[in-house]
Structure 1
């Protein structure tokens, strides 16, 4: 971050990095004059992203204790370290020494050092000894004249640290604390060490867990040898950069085993037991949108309909008026394309404090139902008004409502009138919808349904509920329009029977009568039930292997357990049995 005021920029850098040891992200040092005191940067040992040093006038890089650059993000997509244009134009000040006397590891990315007018020895440093990736770019060009003396001094200094690849025994993977094959650093060390243990590392290759370098932080789930399941680990920690932490910092949320600043696409933030976590969304992630009125105008129209894309909750009302459906020549609003109304298929709830919540007083002539709201489940207000929750009137093309998912109208009343072709509406058990969650003192709702197509005419032409529907009625023709089912349901469609004994994928029934698939690891049974529930421990028999009561596709192998890593093998009886305690890799 660079501000126009150099003094302000310096103070901000000092405030951010004073006493800092690990920089989570990128470190950019720029526009520092030769007289600035940069000692506040001397405590930095590690940078997780890249380092950019540019447009400065100081003589020596102020990072004498830097050991590791991780390069999780790279400058211009290639460089973990970039040192560019560090000299005073038409002056005598500029970078003369890199001063990175403890830098021994760049885990990802390369090095770019160019146009530093007074820097003389950068080309003579063996950067391939520091850069881990042999394919990473190392670009050194257009700096000051080379000086053998400065280059020799710098290389000699690195060799005296006894941690570089050039002095280690071949067995040491490039990091050691001495020249003997027995003086190798632990495999989890980065940047060298002063002993063989995972607690002797100068920095960690992967993660630092309370001073020990480890390949991964203690996982959130561990294998329980007694229940044969993955269970929550009470000693779990989360990845915060290269550190294992028991709790994520303020303003961070837990995503799996990591601390993140925000949930990724397809996940939503929830709070469980006082901890903010990212959870996968069921379908679209929740998105609240304001309804009609105010800046959007009094009706849904061609100008504002795109603002409802991917909305799951409407805060306020939705009005459909003739000036929105057929256009408003006075306001130069074109007619609404009926296909655009499919945008509302994502809406699950309409809520607010308006007189009308869903008000339909005009509709395209080509549409015979309101199925664009087929996923609308709830209409509810947060304050009590004498208005309507649902109003549908004078729609000549309407033959059915098609609100197949609507189950709750929490407050307000219903008005359905003057729809001359409308059938099915008088079969609906509106009391069930109102009584779902309404407070007892508000259950007496005003239902005004009149002057629609007579029920006798509807029945005479076959516009009646499907035989699979219960006596609660239906929103339209077919088994997928029932308010509830007479027998069973599958994915919102009423069916006479679940696939208990037939079909490639067998099912069980929930207490509510919903047909649900058996677990994929259940073996299909002929002439009898395949499962009694959704879990892998509720199969009658296993398709592959069995671990305790659970059907599994493979036995646990290298899974974290309460007392170490668990390995099991499949027996002749297709059961998972523990490997001998002396086995380390299965």
Structure 2
């Protein structure tokens, strides 16, 4: 046995001993392969399924048969390659999803264009056929190529690789070599979030595909005073007064904290607390913990802009970058933290936000957390078993000057305490992802199908294409569809079918189904189709019970069909005309093979869901009422879409749902795009303006 193979075996045994990691052996075939193209693809799948570390080379080649339904999601687990990465003759997929690959070591290299390459991408276009060819290589986690060059050759449809700062990955050893690769006219711009100064750097159009480049905002500058954070959690040492003095000494004049900011145990009635020393802090690389503070009314973190979340705090089974807990005095019901003044906070990069047992804390429920967290998750407001609330609802109102988009958002009651809300023209709003066009089919096992959906739609808010939720029917799988809760816009259709082993589909934020593409069924073109969501055993039917879409205001085109959903409740209570704009016969409730379109054996909607004598809801919770406005007699040309009587009272065609006046500035929601406060059917034609989800974003020239 050669020394090389002894090293490989030792390395494999070592890596297999590490939890959650799987080592697989790479290949050394270059552009050759054995068998037919289908066998070649299936071998790739078997070799790299669940693989995290590739010992050798990762060769992704000959993905070129238009008759094979390729699915390369098995590559998403790979984190480390000891040799080179070769992507060649790949024409039948749009994306190579190497989302977790961090390091290419380059122990072996591939010869291309006379260069010894550790990353080589070549021959991925198909001439003039713009519907085929590789468009994106997703490498957002890639931070290091230790040895070798990077080369691209004949990739006419490939986007974004020319925006990447390769010197940050190769360590200035070698920049990337581009030969006969132009910028395709089909490429969308990078997300606004991917701009560093006036330069955009990304691996794809969505926010989570930005190249991670350290810039002046993420590393301390010469003007910063850098302090080390702590890792004490809920504990402290010495007396409460000594603990406070140490906090004050540690953070006075500090602007940048490497580590965690833990503000705890400010509860001694004999100490005169003054936290003004916190006002200079602008950046925290770890988490922020605010806990057991009873003698301070406000935390003045006025300048804090970013909580990066490199380290997270475990609380209530959540991994928190901001945790606010237990800020009350159980002996004196009037004492406790009242304001968390994070006036400049615009970015929480990783982790969750949790509030628990803060009965006096005001205003945190008014904050638009999506602007801060970027739609990746939503804050948890949790009360304990004794009913101690996460925040107070008996607070002074926010100042009228804090009103934005008809909602007041603030960290305190004064004018200067308004939340800095994202500017529609210059900030990222949506986290975009691409939908599917599989219909009632799927690829791989039921487990892999579910895992793909979960990873693909996690944190997604805007779906380009169709949202297909199908084949959730394996009794051995514990399905958790909470990853759907962030989706608010679908450009195509929504298909929910063959899901007998979930009771709830939580599309709780979905506002608009645009219906640009429709699902063909029974000679109807549907933009919402809910089909065969049940199974049967000796006790009777079981399956989907609640389709939770309380935010749904608009289905712009296409029909709505429900068929064979004998356990599905509440959809028959919905006022569909308010959603479809009164289109004639838009909803079909089909009974096939004696199986009903919905259940007749449901609990009634909560009483708070009653409007004009009718209860309308999507589920049993009071949060799931359908919010239907009192009916107006709109003109026949704009049923359900008016602000006043007569033809002049019609909303503009760019408005989704209703409006407050005659202009495109008065829409409650936009059908297509928002530019400033105006709804448009398309973004202005300008090289500095482009759509990011529903927003027409403006990048400074």
Which TM-score tier does this pair reach, normalised by the shorter chain?
0.3 to 0.5
Point out the structure with max Rg over C-alpha: 1
**TM-score, with structure 2 as normaliser:** 0.29
